[in-house]
């Protein structure tokens, strides 16, 4: 077999293309396979605008068994081209990631971490039917339990302001200037991943000069970041338009650009403390009676963190404002509870939680 020719896009099916590559030849694989979303009808926002869901042909499978066969096939091909010291990353959502995770384990990949990409700006759940689906999952595996692999611990620690990088990464979606557009101004690809995500993946698990393979190349984010970080890359993509756009995009990147220019650290976790968390933490119990400093008003705490007074229900702020006839009210300082016979403002509890959180959350 000929030696590996890198820094190019291979047009075609990813299994066939990988099988045409030399075995044990790439250092890292990053894969963003179809999620098999199975979306039904249309979805509208409360303002009646239509949500542009993923309905592309490449995301449609006959059934779960067909998706499992597809997953097994491409992971098998990926395993062959991956060096014994290499690692593979796969990203997915709850629709597919449990199939992928099981398949990886069945193929004797060894799970090193599962990483949660916390989206700082996810799409809300418009109908109020579930929790806002605000994250995706990345699986990071070595080829075997006892395999040696690359993990740039110190680079990750530095990227995280001196404390160990955790398994949850807070990063925004790929939007704005970063998102590739058609000439008509629409998004070119329905699921373009943010460069910040690939930055962490590649920086964590490869060395300069390594080869990064992406079998579902799409708009080529993997190639763009790999090139900027001084790595070689190889993309496989079956859609000609995507392949063309990716090639052009990567050509515009300067190789080995100062990583600081690309550096896109996640936002710090906000120290916002919902009032409800005091209940979850057992610092306050449902039924606790709250009152203002002058003891002119009282209200009781409900299990969900709302307050109930004679005629009013709502947040600590809303109820405080309504009872006073004021336009607004800071419930944290307005409301007090009784502790050993003395009135204590709620804010004391918030400060307690903040102090605990500040200890190690990054």
Give, as ranges, the residues between 120 and 159 that touch DNA (CB under 7 A): 120-130, 132-133, 136, 148, 153-154, 157
Which one of 17-25, 28-36, 74-82, 194-202 is the stretch in contact with a copy of itself (CB under 8 A)?
194-202
| Ramachandran angles phi, psi of 14, nearest 5° | -70, -35
Question: Which tokens hold the place of 207?
Answer: 């060395």
**Position 109 contacts a copy of itself (CB under 8 A):** no
What is the phi/psi pair of residue 92, to 5°? -165, 180
Element (H, E) at 182: none
Helical pair 195-205 and 221-228, crossing angle rounded to 10 deg: 50
Residue with Cβ nearer a copy of itself (5 or 94) = 94
Kindly tell me which of 185 and 341 has the beta carbon lying closer to DNA: 185
Q: Is 128 exposed, middle or buried (0-12, 13-18, 19+ CB in 10 A)?
A: exposed
Site string for a copy of itself, 223-252 (x = CB under 8 A): -----xx-----------------------
Enumerate residues 6+ apart whose C-beta is below 8 A from 3. Answer: 22
Residue burial 176-206, b: 16+ Cβ < 10 Å; e: rest:
eeeebeeeeeeebbebbbbbbbbbbbbbbbb
- Residue 173 touches which of DNA, a copy of itself, none (Cβ within 5-8 Å per kind): DNA
274 binds DNA (CB under 7 A): yes
- Tell me which of 83, 143, 189, 200 binds a copy of itself, using CB under 8 A: 200
Among a copy of itself, DNA, none, residue 23 binds (CB under 5-8 Å by kind): none
Positions in 7-36 near a copy of itself (CB under 8 A): none
Structure tokens at 138: 């990345």
Tokens matching residue 49 = 């605008």
3, 49, 57, 342: residue in contact with DNA (rule CB under 7 A): 49
For position 52 contacting DNA by CB under 7 A, the verdict is yes
Site string for DNA, 302-341 (x = CB under 7 A): ------------xxxxx--x------xxxxxx--------
Pairwise CA distance, residues 71 & 102, whole Å: 10
171 in contact with a copy of itself (CB under 8 A) = yes
Binding mask 249-278 for a copy of itself (x = CB under 8 A): -------x-x-xxx-x---xx--x-xxxx-
Residue 165 CB, nearest approach to a copy of itself (Å): 5
Q: Which conformational region is residue 348 in: left (phi greater than 0), alpha (psi within -120 to 50 degrees), or beta?
A: alpha
Residues 184-213 that bind DNA (CB under 7 A): 185, 187, 190-192
In the block, residue with structure tokens 């990203």: 91
**Binding status of residue 134 toward a copy of itself by CB under 8 A:** yes
Contacted entry of DNA, a copy of itself, none for residue 240, CB cut-off 5 to 8 Å set by kind: none
Residue 32 is a binding residue for DNA (CB under 7 A)? yes
DSSP string across 63-87: SHHHHHHHHHHHHHHHHHHEEEEEE
Nearer to DNA (CB atom), residue 22 or residue 124: 124
Among 85, 207, 240, 328, binds a copy of itself (CB under 8 A): 328
Find out whether 1 and 22 touch, Cβ atoms under 8 Å. Answer: yes
Examine residue 75 and tell whether it contacts a copy of itself (CB under 8 A).
no
Nearest approach in angstroms of CB 24 to DNA is 18
**Six-digit token pair at 56?**
């592309």
Comparing C-alpha atoms, which of 189, 197, 235 is closest to residue 216?
A: 235
Contacts of a copy of itself in 279-318 (CB under 8 A):
279-282, 285-287, 300-306, 308, 315
Least separation in angstroms between CB 338 and a copy of itself = 17
Number of neighbours of residue 149 by Cβ within 10 angstroms: 19
């Amino acid at each position: 077999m000929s030696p590996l020719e890198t820094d190019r896009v291979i047009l075609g099916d990813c299994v066939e293309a990988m099988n045409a590559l030399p075995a044990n030849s790439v250092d890292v694989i990053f894969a963003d396979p179809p999620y098999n979303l199975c979306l039904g009808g249309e979805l509208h926002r409360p303002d009646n605008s239509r949500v542009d869901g993923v309905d592309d042909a490449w995301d449609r499978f006959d059934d779960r068994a067909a998706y499992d066969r597809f997953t097994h096939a491409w992971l098998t091909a990926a395993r062959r081209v991956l060096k014994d010291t290499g690692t593979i990353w796969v990203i997915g959502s709850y629709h597919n990631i449990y199939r992928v995770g099981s398949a990886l384990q069945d193929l004797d990949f060894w799970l090193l971490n599962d990483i949660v990409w916390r989206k700082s700006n996810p799409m809300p759940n418009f109908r109020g039917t579930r929790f806002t689906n605000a994250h995706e999952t990345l699986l990071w595996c070595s080829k075997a339990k006892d395999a040696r692999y690359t993990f740039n611990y110190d680079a990750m620690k530095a990227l995280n302001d001196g404390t160990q990088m955790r398994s949850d990464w807070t990063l925004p979606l790929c939007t704005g200037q970063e998102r590739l557009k058609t000439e008509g101004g629409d998004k070119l690809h329905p699921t373009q991943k943010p460069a910040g995500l690939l930055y962490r993946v590649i920086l964590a698990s490869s060395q300069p000069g390594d080869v990064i393979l992406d079998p579902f190349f799409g708009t080529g984010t993997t190639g763009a970041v790999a090139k900027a970080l001084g790595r070689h890359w190889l993309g496989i993509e079956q859609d000609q338009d995507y392949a063309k756009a990716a090639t052009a995009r990567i050509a515009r990147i300067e190789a080995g650009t100062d990583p600081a220019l690309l550096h896109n650290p996640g936002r710090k976790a906000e120290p916002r403390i919902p009032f409800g968390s005091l209940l979850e933490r057992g610092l306050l119990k449902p039924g606790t009676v709250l009152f203002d400093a002058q003891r002119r008003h009282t209200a009781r705490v409900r299990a969900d963190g709302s307050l109930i007074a004679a005629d009013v229900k709502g947040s600590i702020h809303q109820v405080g404002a309504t009872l006073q006839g004021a336009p607004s009210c800071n419930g944290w300082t307005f409301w007090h509870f009784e502790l050993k016979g003395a009135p204590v403002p709620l804010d004391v509890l918030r400060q307690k939680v903040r102090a605990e959180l500040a200890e190690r959350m990054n």
